[in-house]
Amino acid sequence: MQTGYFFLVVLVVGVIFVNGWTDAPNSITSIVCTGVLPFRRAALLAAGCNLCGLLLSWLLAPKVTNTIREMADFSQTDPFSALSALCAAMAAVILFAVAAWIFGIPTSESHALLAALSGAAAALGGRAAISEGAWGKVLWGLLLSSAGGLVLGFLVCGPCARLLKRGGHRGARRIQLFCSVLLSLMHGAQDGLKFVGVLLVADSFLLGAPASSEVDLSGSLGAVLLCGVVMSVGTLVGGRRIIEAVGEQMVSLGERSGSASDLAAALLLLGATATGIPMSTTHTKTCAVMGAGLRCGETVHLRVMGRMALAWGITFPVCGLIGWLITRLVVGA
């Protein structure tokens, strides 16, 4: 049992690292593409903000962690099988995320995590092991990140353009940095809480406690710090390919569209985190980039956008299937 728990923690650390490596770069795409900061300095800034964002959300609004805990029910099986299923889900996320990074496609580790957890739970307990209520929040998150990101990015671009014009060169750089910092904070808050939820589920099995819908975070500082530090290290490694795909190939980001997309995505993620809705930073940022790009007259490359949409569309079924298959192979359910 202890060995299984240790192996799970190693896999969760791997997923968090990959998340920081491939997902966090979305928050610095704008300031890198517009030359506000070089990539390494921007990655260092994002790494610090990710850790701070997770700590703040842990103290103030940990509802996303509860949603992740409700997502899949592993309590109907023995603890060893449950831990094995969680390991299978984490392995599925890593396989999918690395494959997406190789092709430079900004997929969502958040959606991969949700799908893999559900697939692993279904392999043990069937459809009854998947929470319809939690998945309802996921669907709301999809709607907010896609349609909400597109619309809010479009609407925010005008006010951002006026602020940038009034601020001059130095003021414009400060506004861009502020928007990027805000988005980095919200990325740490959203995604960090998801992985804290996975670790707390594993803790409940290790201690023999039933998986409840409410998470007691009073003694979880260690898990929070582990998630935050690993995500920050992954961010420092960085994902230049993701930045190129979003900020150069899909839309030629400028000061106006970059600031507007960062601000729009951050506001949406803030609302989702406060209400316990798990939402993808990648989807939110990318759709906000499209909306801001259209409003600001930037060139939007439909072929690249279609390639990303295809990758997003296959994330849920593919990760769910991989999680299900690995669980069946390992547990023999």
Q: Which pLDDT score is estimated for 298?
A: 67
Cα angle: 191, vertex 194, 200; to 5 degrees: 145
The 10 Å CB-count burial string (b at 16+, else e) for 302-332 is eebbebbeebbeebbebbbebbbebbbebbe
Contacts of 270 (CB under 8 A, 6+ apart): 186, 189
Q: How far apart are CA 232 and CA 43, in angstroms?
A: 9
Q: Which pLDDT score is estimated for 115?
A: 93
Q: Where are the domains of the chain?
A: 2-328
Compute mean pLDDT per 10 residues along the chain, 333 residues long, and list them: 79 86 76 82 88 89 83 80 89 85 73 92 88 89 91 90 81 88 92 86 70 58 88 78 60 78 93 90 86 76 73 87 93 70
Sign of CA dihedral 206, 73, 272, 318: positive
Can you spell out the DSSP letters for 91-134?
Answer: HHHHHHHHHHHHTT----HHHHHHHHHHHHHHHHHGGGGB-HHH
